[in-house]
């Protein structure tokens, strides 16, 4: 029994070596047709890394030929399956542009957006892939409203939109929390909250954004010199009114009303002086 197992292992090892030798031979010395055939076999065997290496070699020879449509899709899918999501998004997007009449165009459009979403970390200094994913999902939703993938596309679109809103909110709030050490950040915070509210109408963070915008405007006004205080107090009161107009029963009523009282007191003192 032990001897049979040993022979089996030797047989498997021999097959693997032969397979590896055949791959290297075709890769280095095979014809374009042999390389294309083996690339397809590697792809179908789910050996995507080896398939990509071969596809890279044959692509120049098949450019503008009928096989190129299939090659480009397999290259995109291989990158996706090896977690090269940024490249997968790029190649799926190129596929939709190069083959607008392909039966795989819808699938490629969806996978392009999905790939960019997977390529984007939750928080990053460079949100390029996140914006690409958002734009790609929006384009897919507009182009394929009856797709079987529309429910997932809408779900991912909302998730990405929420992610971007949250990041914008945290940046704006970060300016506010550091303004204690650098007063210039009060204005930076106000601008950042304004950008959030204009970029994302009906934002999930609208109430919080309006409240922290009021806090930033309030603190800036209270800490201002007499020369700048009048205008800044007026702006802060407008920020309060905007919060109350949008959220009459805001959960921040107690805090916002207290700030309003301080601002009105500052106004009266300015009139007296």
Residue 7 to residue 12: CA distance in whole angstroms: 9
Q: Residue 223, Cα to own-chain centre: how many angstroms?
A: 38
Q: How confident is the model at residue 122 (pLDDT cuts 50, 70, 90)?
A: low
Residues 240-247 have a mean pLDDT of 97
Residue 201 to residue 66: CA distance in whole angstroms: 46
Yes or no: say if 78 and 55 are a contact pair by the CB < 8 Å rule: yes
CB atoms within 10 A of CB 14: 10
> Degrees (nearest 5) of the Cα angle 197, 199, 200?
65
| Between 136 and 28, the higher pLDDT residue | 136
Q: How confident is the model at residue 269 (pLDDT cuts 50, 70, 90)?
A: confident
Yes or no: say if 209 and 197 are a contact pair by the CB < 8 Å rule: yes
Residues 84-98 have a mean pLDDT of 96
Yes or no: say if 237 and 259 are a contact pair by the CB < 8 Å rule: no
Tell me which DSSP letter residue 200 carries: S
Counting residues of the chain whose pLDDT is more than 70, the rounded percentage is 90
Structure tokens at 159: 């998730």
**This model's pTM is above 0.85:** no
Per-residue pLDDT reduced to its tens digit, 148-193: 999 999 999 999 999 899 999 999 999 999 998 998 999 999 999 9
């Amino acid at each position: 029994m032990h001897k049979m197992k040993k022979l089996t292992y030797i047989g498997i090892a021999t097959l693997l070596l032969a397979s590896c030798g055949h791959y290297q031979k075709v890769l280095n010395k095979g014809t374009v047709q042999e390389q294309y055939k083996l690339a397809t076999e590697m792809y179908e065997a789910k050996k995507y890394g080896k398939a990509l290496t071969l596809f890279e070699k044959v692509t120049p020879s098949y450019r503008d030929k009928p096989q190129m449509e299939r090659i480009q899709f397999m290259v995109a899918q291989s990158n996706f399956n090896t977690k090269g999501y940024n490249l997968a998004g790029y190649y799926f997007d190129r596929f939709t542009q190069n083959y607008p009449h392909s039966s795989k165009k819808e699938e490629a459009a969806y996978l392009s957006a999905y790939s960019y979403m997977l390529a984007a970390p939750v928080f990053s200094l460079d949100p390029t892939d996140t914006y690409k994913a958002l734009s790609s999902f929006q384009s897919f939703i507009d182009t394929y409203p009856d797709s079987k993938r529309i429910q997932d596309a809408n779900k991912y679109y909302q998730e990405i939109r929420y992610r971007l809103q949250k990041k914008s909110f945290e940046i704006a709030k970060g300016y506010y929390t550091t303004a204690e050490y650098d007063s210039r950040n009060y204005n930076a915070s106000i601008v950042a909250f304004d950008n959030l509210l204009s970029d994302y109408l009906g934002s999930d963070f609208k109430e919080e954004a309006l409240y922290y915008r009021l806090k930033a405007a309030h603190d800036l006004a209270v800490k201002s010199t007499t020369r700048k205080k009048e205008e800044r107090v007026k702006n802060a009161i407008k920020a309060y009114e905007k919060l109350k107009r949008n959220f009459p029963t805001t959960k921040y009523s107690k805090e916002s009303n207290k700030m309003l009282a301080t601002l009105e007191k500052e106004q009266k003192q300015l009139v007296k002086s």
